[in-house]
Amino acid sequence: MKYFLTNPAFPDFFAKQLAPYGFCIPIRPFHKLDEPVNAHPDMLAVNIGGKLFIHADDIHLAAALSKQNIPFSLSQAPVGAKYPQDIALNLFTVKKYLFANVAHASADVLEYARLCEYELVNVAQGYAKCSTLLLDEAVITADTRIYRAAKERGIDALLISHGNIGIEKYDTGFIGGASAKIAEGKVAVFGNIEKHPDGENILGFAKKHDTQIISLGHSALFDYGGIVCADA
């Protein structure tokens, strides 16, 4: 059974469209992070090679996962409300690479990644996962450093314009936080991809990689903190 960890503000209309792919579990805010990112899945959990990591002090998420018999491991990295104490789990993998601001990433996650023979790619962008829409073997980002690091390693990448994504409280959201890979060859975006200035390029790039972009809404894209997938 596939589960999707989602922001409690994630619209029911979106969740219903994801039902054919998995069951949505709204997660409770984590008290050690600031609003609104304290309820963003990409700040609270990460799935590396099929192993789910969460913050050791996040008792609410641990309880929700245990209720569904979803296995998880704990990250013991210190967590705080301010950058960079909030980015321990904000990282991603593509092919056999793990992208992160390594100095501030969870040591537990990095150790497991090395055991899985992922090559660590250090990037200055602390919010690496927030900043990146993941295809099966390619990435889309507005961050030039992530873009260059991917291209240097033979990972196809599309560089898009910064901004044009809504988010609560802040000036702009990120493309990774407004999207999620929900199945092989399928990516959901939180809004209408055609409302984004680079929508046509994103659709073309996804098609090149045999990936369908599923627009869950009709309005501009909105950053809900992505979705973290888990299996029971």
Please write the tens of the pLDDT for every residue from 87-138.
999 999 999 999 999 999 999 999 999 999 999 999 999 999 999 999 999 9
pTM for this predicted structure:
0.97
Distance CA 79, CA 96 (A): 27
3-state secondary structure at position 176: helix
Quick one: pLDDT at residue 60? 98
Quick one: pLDDT at residue 232? 86
Paired tokens of 170: 């802040």
Nearest to 120 by CA among 132, 109, 129: 109
Number of domains in the chain: 1
Q: The domain containing residue 167 runs over which residues?
A: 2-231
CATH of the domain at 42: 3.75.10
Nearest to 43 by CA among 79, 74, 4: 79
Q: Which long-range contacts (CB under 8 A, 24 or more apart) does 107-111 make?
A: 107/76, 107/77, 108/53, 108/73, 108/74, 108/75, 108/76, 108/77, 109/46, 109/48, 109/53, 109/75
Around Cβ 120, how many Cβ atoms within 10 Å?
Answer: 14
Q: Indicate the pLDDT class of residue 146, thresholds 50, 70 and 90.
A: very high
Task: Express each pLDDT in 31-65 by its tens digit.
Answer: 999 999 999 999 999 999 999 999 999 999 999 99
